[in-house]
Structure 1
Amino acid sequence: MSDWMMTHRALPGRRRRALSPLREHLRDSFWFAPTAAMVVVFVVWLVTEELDTAIVESLRDQGDFETLDDLVRFAEDVKTVVGAVSSAMMTFIGVVFSISLVAVQMASGQFTPRVVRIFVRSRITKATFAVFLATFVLTLLVLTAFDSTTDPRRVVSVPLVQSVLTLGMVALSLLLFVMYVNTTLRLMRVSHVIARIAAESFRAVALMPAAEVGEGRPELGPVTAWIAHEGRAGVLRDVHIGRLVRVARRHGVVLRLVPRIGDFVVPGTPVLAVHGGQAPPARVLRYTMGVGVERTFHQDLGFGLRQLSDIALRALSAAINDPTTAVQALDRVVQLLAVLSRRPLDVSLHRDRAGAVRLVQPLPGWEALVDLGFAEVRAHAAESPQVTRRMLAGLDDLLLLVPPERCEPLRRHRELLRQAVERVAPTPADRAFGLRPDRQGIG
């Protein structure tokens, strides 16, 4: 079954409870996973040290000093290995860091600067850094556990379990390094970057509850209060839906988000409209809105189309002149719009447990999404028959999928594309060739 069919079938009727944005913010950060790994490995080291001490005490109680002597000689050999591993881990960390910087620089320069966050959110990259740092910390801790005495009757602890754990971490580090290199090489290829953007977009669509078909925007009554934005200026990244719904239910009001996710907000501008009562106190609304320096996929339906359009525009620029990449981006634009073609848009309604609407969140409408996916690319694609042919085929496919009331924006873009090609094509044959729909552009 194709990716489009699986995604298209999975979305209708799917309704999931709104989650806290904290997990998304942690995924957008790079410090959490390595820090957590080092804390965990320290706790594990404490446990293994107790196990090693218990093993030595058990052998001493049994009077098995011959085995203890063997363990001490084994520890002397392992100490050299652990020291070498400790030095090698720092070299590996430097190599991984260098590969990441080169990959990010190439991707941001060739595709769009907004794809950098794909590398930041990459699980395999975080896991590699986390395991490498944890292995390095573990080797340092294990080196401190070696006893200076070689007399088995006086030895306190032999890091037997710790050494086995260290070797296991080294094996895991090597495995992750191979996986990391493979993933990084994939992400340096534009087709995989575009596919990752599309996958993140589908996830955002699936997690966003929307109004039921035919429900439309509810009657909220007059605005009884406005709530202004307090804090720093920036892009509205997401809102804590669950907390806002609880606040609205507790105070018996309906909250309506004024800006859309992805809008730039400044202090003093209204961000919430209150319907049906007084505004909740500012303290209960604290930490309900995430403001940052750039947009994210979380709760932002248009951000995926924005990135795909940016990649297509960069590919069509005179400096790069890569229409095939623009066609690959258009493939995903058509796929994403096909998924959204029959989904209720414009507004997302969030209800409390009793089923009452408590939060109204604006979403981009169908026409806005179509314009976002096609307008800028169409304006720069008239001289590239490969792109115009692919865009026409995509528009024709969407016209077969969307409801009749959503066909007008698609027809408008089709007509504007036809006019643009007729203006720039020098001969009737060139115009006819550029206006012939082809799903591969020029196969």
Structure 2
Amino acid sequence: MKLEMSRRLWVISQTMRQIWFVAAIYCVAGIVTALIGIMLNPYIPPGIGRTIGANSVSSLLTIIASSMLTVLIFSLNTVVQATSAAASSATPRAVGTLLEDRTAQSALSTFLGSFIFSLVGLVALNTNLYGDGGRLVLFIATLAVIVLIVIILLRWINYLGRLGKISRTIEQVEGSASTSMHNYRRNPYLGGKPFDGKLPAGLHMIELDKIGYLRFVDISTLDTVAEQLDADIYILERAGAMVAPGRYVAGLLLKEGQSLPDEETLETLHHAFTVGNERSYTQDPLYGLTVLSQVAVRALSPAVNDPGTAIDVLGHLIRVMVEGKKLEPQDEPSHPRIHVREIEAVDFFDAAFTAISRDGAGMAEVGIHLQHAFHALKVVPLEGYEEAADAFSSVALERARETLAFRSDIERLDSLVQGHNTARHILQRNK
């Protein structure tokens, strides 16, 4: 089963997450709803619609138009304040997940769509486009819109209490990070074959003329080119890497005596690598870990001085790092001509814990919870996790020893690590 997506589908998925796209859908729905009475008017028996006067519908639409505009402006202001709070209290990298929140998007879009619906309805009424049957349909649609507005308002009021809070921001980042990690566990090589970093001789190296983060690699396009050329492609940089001219992103292995591809083919290869100013969660499981780590580092800064938030983030990091550990073995590669480097365990630990162990080295409580995190990850049945956890545990302990001034704190950390090692040794000996 193919789990990878093409660049076109990726662009579509990214667009569908944007708040303007959802709002546009609701606006179109509002316009269609307002005009549906004109289309249905010929099918409604004469006389039924006369019980509903145009004035009553007009009054309702006027109330919706005026109130929804006010609510929309207030809600937009609230979202702007929430994103500013998330950027200052957590990290600017977390703002993207906040703007993609479906609850906020549906609320804003409903208010805007209702406003557009009422405007179109008023214009159609004042231009006498509705007959008696059309006014009846418009009245029923207006009642349905009012019910929808009430439901969304109640949901929105309940949601506003959490919008922009640091805990909610962390949960949203964890959700995106967990999805990315889950997808990686299911398809670590993007449908290609793994390679250990040792490159064959004779590769034609491919570099990009753009500077930025590698956001997406279109494996399907690369596989199509590889089939056409009867060649193999080695992907040297995964999504999330910083690329620039002179840094090779892939290598093309041609058969002996085969000529280099033409400019059009090379251009197709280049377009398979999407570069942007920001990283994306889609193919980059390290990005979510990095964002969560940055939230913890911000909390540990002298300006914030909130070690409790950093400790909370550690729990979220553990959950993300163990996501998908019990999935089924990998199927046969769907793109056997594409070779992809696996992300090593040390890369996950580096993205998650290096900055926290550095900035939290002077706080005993952070050091204690870091050691608990490493101990929890040692027993995870994922390749390289035990060795990486031991290595990062030793580094974090050494940082704490050189930073902590109070001898008792150092002894507590030493005792904790020793206790973890002793317990693990006993368990291994009893197996």
The bucket for the TM-score relative to the shorter chain is: 0.7 to 0.9
Structure 1 match to 2:143: 167
Q: Secondary structure at the match of 1:146?
A: helix
CA-CA distance at 1:322 after TM superposition: 0.7
Structure 1 match to 2:4: 18
CA distance in 2, matches of 1:247, 1:142: 53
Deviation readout 1:324-366 (Å, 9 max, x if unpaired): 100111112222333477999xxx99943xxx51323334311
Instruction: Kindly indicate whether residue 396 of structure 2 is the aligned counterpart of residue 417 of structure 1.
Output: yes
Deviation readout 1:67-114 (Å, 9 max, x if unpaired): 55433xx22122111111111111111011011011111111001111
Structure 1 match to 2:241: 263
1:333–1:373 Cα contact (<8 Å) kept: yes
1:194–1:329 Cα contact (<8 Å) kept: yes
Name the amino acid aligned to 2:188: A
Instruction: Kindly indicate whether residue 37 of structure 2 is the aligned counterpart of residue 77 of structure 1.
Output: no
Name the amino acid aligned to 1:49: I
- Describe how 1:100-119 pairs up with structure 2 within 5 A: 100-119=79-98
CA distance in 1, matches of 2:392, 2:333: 37
Structure 1 window deviating more from structure 2 (316-325 vs 402-411): it is 402-411
Instruction: Kindly indicate whether residue 166 of structure 2 is the aligned counterpart of residue 177 of structure 1.
Output: no
1:198 pairs with one of 154, 174, 179: 174
Deviation readout 1:308-335 (Å, 9 max, x if unpaired): 1101111111111111100111112222
2:181–2:321 Cα contact (<8 Å) kept: no
CA distance in 2, matches of 1:234, 1:405: 30
Structure 1 match to 2:281: 297
CA-CA distance at 1:388 after TM superposition: 0.7
Change (3 A) 1:220 1:163: farther
Structure 2 match to 1:367: 346
1:253 pairs with one of 231, 255, 259: 231
Instruction: Kindly indicate whether residue 292 of structure 2 is the aligned counterpart of residue 316 of structure 1.
Output: no
2:316 pairs with one of 332, 346, 349: 332
1:51 pairs with one of 40, 54, 57: 40
Deviation readout 1:246-280 (Å, 9 max, x if unpaired): 33234322222232211222357543321235447
Change (3 A) 1:18 1:95: same
CA distance in 1, matches of 2:383, 2:18: 43
Change (3 A) 1:101 1:164: same
CA-CA distance at 1:245 after TM superposition: 2.5
1:349–1:357 Cα contact (<8 Å) kept: no
1:135–1:166 Cα contact (<8 Å) kept: no
CA distance in 2, matches of 1:137, 1:283: 44
Q: TM-score, normalised on structure 2?
A: 0.82
Structure 2 match to 1:41: 30
CA distance in 2, matches of 1:401, 1:68: 68
CA distance in 1, matches of 2:304, 2:327: 36
Instruction: Kindly indicate whether residue 128 of structure 2 is the aligned counterpart of residue 135 of structure 1.
Output: no
CA-CA distance at 1:121 after TM superposition: 1.0
Which segments of 5 or more consecutive residues in structure 2 lack a partner in the other structure? Answer: 418-431
1:147–1:158 Cα contact (<8 Å) kept: no
CA distance in 1, matches of 2:311, 2:398: 20
Q: Secondary structure at the match of 2:233?
A: strand
CA distance in 1, matches of 2:167, 2:213: 28
1:245–1:350 Cα contact (<8 Å) kept: no
CA distance in 2, matches of 1:134, 1:287: 37
CA-CA distance at 1:429 after TM superposition: 2.3
CA-CA distance at 1:401 after TM superposition: 2.7
CA-CA distance at 1:415 after TM superposition: 2.0
2:182–2:324 Cα contact (<8 Å) kept: no
CA distance in 2, matches of 1:341, 1:155: 62
Q: Secondary structure at the match of 1:226?
A: strand
Structure 2 match to 1:9: none
Change (3 A) 1:242 1:100: same
Change (3 A) 1:235 1:252: same
2:377–2:385 Cα contact (<8 Å) kept: no
What is the aligned residue count? 401
Name the amino acid aligned to 1:378: S
Structure 2 match to 1:210: 188
CA distance in 2, matches of 1:226, 1:276: 11
Name the amino acid aligned to 1:428: R
Change (3 A) 1:255 1:283: same
1:146 pairs with one of 100, 111, 125: 125
Structure 1 match to 2:420: none
Name the amino acid aligned to 1:89: M
CA-CA distance at 1:430 after TM superposition: 2.7
CA distance in 1, matches of 2:395, 2:161: 39
Change (3 A) 1:404 1:436: farther
Structure 2 match to 1:240: 218
1:227–1:270 Cα contact (<8 Å) kept: yes
CA distance in 2, matches of 1:182, 1:91: 19
CA distance in 2, matches of 1:268, 1:407: 36
Q: Secondary structure at the match of 1:17?
A: coil
Q: Secondary structure at the match of 2:195?
A: coil
1:111–1:315 Cα contact (<8 Å) kept: yes
Change (3 A) 1:262 1:170: same
Name the amino acid aligned to 2:351: L
Name the amino acid aligned to 2:3: R
Change (3 A) 1:286 1:414: closer
CA distance in 2, matches of 1:263, 1:403: 23
Name the amino acid aligned to 1:415: S
CA-CA distance at 1:143 after TM superposition: 0.9
What is the root-mean-square deviation in Å for CA atoms of aligned residues? Answer: 3.2
